[in-house]
Chain A
Amino acid sequence: MSDLLIVGAALWSDPDAHARVAHRPGERADVLIRDGVIAEIGNLSAPAGVPRLDADGLALLPGLVDLHTHLREPGREDAETIASGSAAAAAGGFTAILAMANTDPVTDTAEAAERVHDRGREVGLADVVPVGAVTKGLAGSELAELALMARSRARVRVFSDDGRCVQDARVMRRALEYIKPFGGIISQHAQDGALAGAAACCHEGEISGRLGLPGWPGAAESVIVARDVQLARHTGSRVHIAHVSTAESVEIIRWAKDQGIAVTAEVTPHHLALGTELVSGYDPTFKVNPPLRPSQDQEALRAALADGTIDAVATDHAPHARQDKEHAFEAAAFGMLGLETAFCVVHDLMVRSGRMTMLDLSRRMSRNPARIAALPGHGQDIAVGHPANLVVVAPDRRVTVDAATSNSLSHNNPWHGMSFTGAVHATILRGRVTAIEGKAHRQ
């Protein structure tokens, strides 16, 4: 049975009006888990036979939720599998991850979605929630079976053609309308294909000019963000902007929220922390879509995450086999790892610097993404009666990232060699410890 006593952690989650016993954010308490559910909070002594997790000086948060993960199963199991990706997620403090649809075959049917969901349950290290494709085969023209995916046992609510933008405004409009009855949301990869085509691989600016690389102008993102918030307004449906990377997109989202439009947004740790100058050495490890941006964009993203304009941090964890990255920069695959490092980076950059509190972090990395994805049982307050999906973090622990020790099958890790303050100590999924100090624990 999944019983556990967590001793002495500071509890960081939102007070929940419905909880029988609520705590104040940052308050220290012991938490007793019985059968995967939080049974008691307070100054507790261990009942016989219940294992203890000593969390003195550590912090307890609701388990992290990632709205944007690429597992490469089915299709490219050499780069990542649902098992290896789940292990990386558990090591990184995540209890739920949304697996993007751009696998081979694409997740565009109920059957494909259920396979991902079931395999995730079988592995048991994190709840793997499939994202459904918006259009068949991600081709951008005909709607995929959105409602069947929603009705399936995978309970798909988030739809995305990620990797590609839904270019056609009419298709986007129909998709937004169609998902309303079941509370779906479209996560848009905002990239106008005429302004930033397939070759675009570097932020368009002085560095792309000097390096002679095809530029990806910030406007190619913000024109789609502007269009889509208008479509969300027109349809009264929910749109989510994936991996926001520019200050201009942030301005539009801020405006749209002021208008009461149902738009939410995510930012990746790499767009917050890493700048476009990193591509100067043509290292494809730093090639990502959308591209790393200049410092003024990074600063706007940090401010927007702190003030809540950007709702969530999402990793866009994108594992790639080594040979797919060892091409000339333009030909190399887009994407970088992120699950295992997200907490460290965001904690160091945003909390330790004083720009956000630990409570803010738990909202941006757990409560908000869980709500956006309409995930039951995740991102909830630490309160009696709630499922024990939790993460214990060590705010003062110093970590140095080593690409070689990853749980992921891939090594395209842009954080290699960098040090951060703040680490994930243990991850708990329905009362079971799924990872301790970076090592995943299969059942």
Chain B
Amino acid sequence: MARHLISSADLSRSDVEAILDTAASMHDVQRREVKKLPTLRGRTIINFFFEDSTRTRSSFEIAGKWMSADTINLSAKGSSTSKGESLRDTVQTINAMAVDALVIRHNQSGACHQIAGWVDASVINAGDGTHEHPTQALLDAYTLQARLGALDGRHVVIVGDLTHSRVFRSNAITLRTLGARVTVVAPPTLMPAGIASWAQRDGFSWSWDLDEVLATGDAPDAVMMLRVQRERMSGGYFPTAREYTVGYGLTRTRLEGLLHRNPDALILHPGPMNRGLEISPDAADAPASLILDQVSGGLAVRMAVLYHLLAGEGSAA
């Protein structure tokens, strides 16, 4: 496995399988009374967040702590440009403190990629702009596998604001790596540029029509609803919340249709949800919903990622 985790494309199928296997053991640790493992004792991990995040940051923080690493949270909100300091200066200052890993969340695409070229520490991408969020894709795969077993040939539909979604970009890669079929759905204004050639090259399908995707062809094994920010309306991406929901929301009617075709179909959402916009309460709280499983799996997956990038040889748990 490479030293950094910047893009989901950095991981081969065997890398992903190794991480998910380790995550399963880590998940067992979470159920113990004493959750501490000595694995990363003496290691320093800095969670360096240039953008607000509660869940991802606390997930990485707890993951590090349960593995006995010293974890420190830093936030550098706002652009460093305004302080006259370049991004390189900012991260090299931190790197000079002899840290072992930098877990980085940044509001701009590609920042982790650039940072990895400037530091000695392992860089873990905890979400960069509208580019990627590889640990999210790993936890989604982990959560799905826990229910479905191997994902080969399974059909996963990803719906929502694809243009601005790092969750989509990483999931499209990791799900394909594990052999799943992926269909992505968005209104034309929230469909990324160049999707036709991109989808063809990377072997996934795309559509503007959610009902057609849900009702024809392979019945979905899982539907992943992405958050749609209400601010997108002012950007002219769609006219009203109501119109978005009618076209692209997982409404009660669509949920019934989905479960009618495949009673075992599952529902995911990376959070935070806009209940009533992209996902109805009926869907979010349905037995088919794995949304809380995603959160608990997230912790196990992040422990596994830290283990594989930092621990070297030896048993995980």
Q: Spell out A's residues near B (CB within 8 Å).
A: 204-213, 215, 217, 281-283, 322-324, 326-331
- Give A213's nearest chain B residue, CB to CB: B109
Q: Is the CB of A215 within 8 A of B108?
A: no
In the complex, chain A residues whose CB is within 8 Å of the CB of B169: 210, 212
Chain A binder among B52-60, B84-92, B136-144: B84-92
Interface status of B79 (Cβ within 8 A of chain A):
yes
Chain A residues within 8 Å of B114, by CB: 282-283, 328-329
B166 touches A331 (CB 8 A): no
Give the docked Cα–Cα distance between A326 and B88 (Å): 6
B residues sitting closer than 8 Å to A (CB atoms) are 79-81, 84-89, 106, 108-111, 113-114, 128-132, 163-164, 166, 169, 192-195, 197-198, 201
Given A211-B110, A282-B110, verify A326-B166 contact (CB < 8 Å): no
The 9 A-B pairs of least Cβ separation, nearest first, read: A206-B194, A282-B110, A209-B192, A328-B108, A212-B131, A212-B130, A212-B109, A326-B88, A326-B86
CA distance A326 to B84 in the complex (A): 11
Q: How far is the CA of A206 from the CA of B106 in the complex (A)?
A: 22
Q: Which residue of B lies closest to A330 (CB)?
A: B108
Other-chain contact of A328, B87, B192, B194, B198 (Cβ < 8 Å): B87
Question: Cβ of A326 and Cβ of B87 under 8 Å apart?
Answer: yes
CA distance A209 to B201 in the complex (A): 13
Would you call B194 and A212 a contact (CB within 8 A)?
no
- Rounded to whole Å, the gap between the CB of B74 and the closest CB of chain A is 17
**Contact, CB under 8 Å: A210 / B129:** no
In the complex, what's the smallest C-beta–C-beta distance from A321 to chain B, in angstroms?
10
Q: Is the CB of A329 within 8 A of B108?
A: yes
* Cβ-defined contact, B195 with A329, below 8 A: no
**Which residue in chain A gives the minimum CB-CB distance to B107?**
A328
Let me know if B113 and A282 touch, CB within 8 A.
yes
Given contacts A212-B131, A323-B86, 19 further A-B contacts (CB under 8 A): A206-B201, A209-B194, A210-B192, A210-B194, A211-B109, A211-B131, A212-B128, A212-B132, A212-B166, A213-B130, A281-B113, A323-B84, A326-B88, A327-B87, A328-B106, A328-B109, A328-B114, A330-B109, A330-B110
B193 lies within 8 A of A331 (CB): no
Contacts of A328 in B (CB 8 A): 87, 106, 108-111, 114, 129
Partner of A208, one of B108, B193, B197: B193
For B85, B87, B110, the residue with the greatest tally of chain A CB atoms inside 10 Å of its CB is B110
CB contact between A331 and one of B79, B128, B130, B198 (< 8 Å): that residue: B79
- In the complex, residue of chain B having the shortest beta-carbon distance to the beta carbon of A204: B193
Q: Give chain B nearest CB distance to A411 CB in angstroms.
A: 14
Could you write out 11 A-B pairs with CB less than 8 Å apart?
Answer: A204-B193, A212-B166, A212-B169, A213-B130, A217-B193, A323-B85, A324-B86, A326-B87, A327-B81, A328-B109, A329-B111
Question: Are the C-beta atoms of B194 and A327 separated by less than 8 Å?
Answer: no
| Complex Cα gap A331–B201 (Å) | 30
CB-nearest residue of chain A to B109: A212
Q: Which of A206, A210, A217, A282 has the most CB of B within 10 A?
A: A210
Contact check, B113 vs A210: say whether CB atoms are below 8 A apart: no
Contact present for A327 and B86 (CB under 8 Å): yes
Most B-side CB within 10 Å, residue of A211, A212, A326: A212
CA distance A322 to B81 in the complex (A): 13
Residues of chain A within 8 A (CB-CB) of B131 are: 211-213
Tell which of B79, B81, B85 has the most Cβ of chain A within 10 Å.
Answer: B81
Q: How far is the CB of B193 from chain A (nearest CB, A)?
A: 4
Evaluate contact between A206 and B130: CB separation under 8 angstroms.
no
CB distance from B195 to the nearest CB of A (A): 6
Question: What are the residues of chain A within 8 A of B88 when measuring CB–CB?
Answer: 323, 326
- Chain A residue numbers with a CB within 8 Å of B81 are 327, 331
A281 to B110, alpha carbons, bound, how many Å?
8
Interfacial chain A residues near B87, Cβ < 8 Å: 326-328, 331
Complex Cα spacing A217 to B194, Å: 11
A48 to B185, CA, bound (A): 81
Contacts of A215 in B (CB 8 A): 193
Which residues of the partner chain A approach B201 to less than 8 Å between Cβ atoms?
A: 206
**Which residues of the partner chain B approach A331 to less than 8 Å between Cβ atoms?**
79, 81, 87, 108
Q: How far is the CA of A326 from the CA of B81 in the complex (A)?
A: 10
**Closest CB of chain B to A400's CB: distance in Å?**
23
From B79, B85, B87, B197, residue with most partner A Cβ within 10 Å: B87
Question: Roughly how many angstroms separate A84 CA and B121 CA in the complex, as a whole number?
Answer: 38
Within 8 Å CB of A283, what residues of B? 114
Are A209's CB and B193's CB within 8 A?
yes
- Name the residue on A nearest B194 (C-beta): A206
Write out the residue numbers on chain B whose beta carbons fall within 8 Å of the beta carbon of A323: 84-86, 88-89
Q: Which residues from chain A contact B128 at a C-beta distance below 8 Å? A: 212
A residues near B109, Cβ cutoff 8 Å: 211-213, 282, 328-330
Measured CB to CB, the closest approach of chain B to A325, in angstroms, equals: 8
- Give the shortest distance, in Å, between B80 (CB) and chain A (any CB): 7
A220 nearest CB across to chain B (Å):
13
Separation of A211 and B132 alpha carbons in the complex (Å): 8
Q: Which of B80, B85, B193 contacts A205 (CB 8 A)?
A: B193
In the bound complex, how far is the Cα of B86 from the Cα of A217, in angstroms? 28
Residue of chain A at shortest CB distance from B87: A327
| B110 in complex: contacting residue of A204, A322, A324, A329, CB < 8 Å | A329
Using CB atoms, name the residue of chain B closest to A328: B108
Q: A205–B198 Cα gap in the complex (Å)? A: 9
Residue from A213, A282, A326, A328 whose CB has the most chain B CB atoms within 10 Å: A328
How many angstroms between the C-alpha atoms of A204 and B193 in the bound complex? Answer: 6
Shortest beta-carbon distance, B54 to chain A, in Å? 22
